[in-house]
Structure 1
Amino acid sequence: MAGAVQSGNFSKALPMNGGHGLYSYSKNSTYQVIVAVKDLITEAIAEKLDICVLSSSNTICVSDMGCSVGPNTFVAVQNIVEAVLNKYQSQEHDHSSLPELQVFLNDHALNDFNTLFKSLPPNRNYYVAGMPGSFHGRLFPTDSLHIVHTSYALQWLSQVPKEVEDVSSPAWNKGRIYYSSSADQTVKAYADQFAGDLDCFLHARAQEVVGGGLIILMVPGRTDSSPHTRVFSNISYDILGSCLVDMAKLVWILKPP
Structure 2
Amino acid sequence: MERKRSNQSYEAFPMNGGDGQYSYAQNSNHQRTGADTIKHIAKEVILEILDLETLLQDSSKVFHIADLGCSVGPNTFFTVQNIIDAVNLTFQSQTHSIIDSSLEFQVFFDDHVGNDFNSRLNSLPDDKQYHATAMPGSFYGRLFPESSIHIFNSSYALHWLSNVPKEIVEKNSHAYDKGKIYFTSEVDKKVAEAYSAQFARNIESFLNFRALELVPGGV
Q: TM-score, normalised by structure 2?
A: 0.91
Counterpart in 1 of 2:115? 111
1:46 maps onto 2:47 in alignment: yes
Q: SS in structure 1 opposite 2:216?
A: strand
Counterpart in 2 of 1:122? 126
Q: Distance in 2 between matches of 1:86 and 1:141?
A: 27
1:68 maps onto 2:71 in alignment: yes
Q: SS in structure 1 opposite 2:135?
A: strand
User: Which residue of 140, 146, 150 corresponds with 1:146?
Assistant: 150
Cα shift readout 1:187-220 (whole Å, capped 9, x = no counterpart):
0000000000000111100000011000xxxxxx
Q: Distance in 1 between matches of 2:202 and 2:184?
A: 20
Counterpart in 1 of 2:189? 184
Counterpart in 2 of 1:26? 25
Are the structure 2 counterparts of residues 141 and 15 from structure 1 closer, same or farther at C-alpha, using a change threshold of 3 Å?
Answer: same
Amino acid at match of 1:19: G
User: Greater relative contact order (Cα 8 A, min sep 6): structure 1 or 2?
Assistant: 2
Q: Distance in 2 between matches of 1:208 and 1:179?
A: 37
Q: Distance in 2 between matches of 1:35 and 1:26?
A: 16
Q: SS in structure 2 opposite 1:105?
A: strand
Counterpart in 1 of 2:216? 211
Q: TM-score, normalised by structure 1?
A: 0.78
Tell me how far 1:96 sits from its aligned partner: 3.7
Q: Distance in 2 between matches of 1:54 and 1:138?
A: 24
Are the structure 2 counterparts of residues 134 and 46 from structure 1 closer, same or farther at C-alpha, using a change threshold of 3 Å?
Answer: same
Q: Distance in 2 between matches of 1:129 and 1:2?
A: 27
Cα shift readout 1:11-51 (whole Å, capped 9, x = no counterpart):
11110011111101001112321111000000000001122
Unaligned 5+ segments in structure 2 are none
Are the structure 2 counterparts of residues 143 and 180 from structure 1 closer, same or farther at C-alpha, using a change threshold of 3 Å?
Answer: farther
Q: Distance in 1 between matches of 2:184 and 2:108?
A: 35
Are the structure 2 counterparts of residues 124 and 137 from structure 1 closer, same or farther at C-alpha, using a change threshold of 3 Å?
Answer: same
Tell me how far 1:93 sits from its aligned partner: 3.5
The 8 Å contact of residues 31 and 72 in structure 1, kept in 2 or not, is answered as no
The 8 Å contact of residues 30 and 71 in structure 1, kept in 2 or not, is answered as no
Counterparts of 1:77-92 in structure 2 under 5 Å? Answer: 77-91=80-94, 92=96
Counterpart in 1 of 2:36? 35
Larger radius of gyration: 1
The 8 Å contact of residues 85 and 98 in structure 1, kept in 2 or not, is answered as no
Tell me how far 1:176 sits from its aligned partner: 2.1
Cα shift readout 1:66-108 (whole Å, capped 9, x = no counterpart):
0001211111101101001110011213334451010000000
Q: Distance in 2 between matches of 1:4 and 1:174?
A: 37
The 8 Å contact of residues 88 and 99 in structure 2, kept in 1 or not, is answered as no
Q: Distance in 2 between matches of 1:191 and 1:138?
A: 22
Amino acid at match of 2:41: L
Tell me how far 1:55 sits from its aligned partner: 4.3
Tell me how far 1:10 sits from its aligned partner: 1.3
Q: SS in structure 2 opposite 1:128?
A: strand
Counterparts of 1:224-243 in structure 2 under 5 Å? Answer: none
The 8 Å contact of residues 171 and 186 in structure 1, kept in 2 or not, is answered as yes
Size of the aligned set, in residue pairs, is 213
Tell me how far 1:174 sits from its aligned partner: 1.6
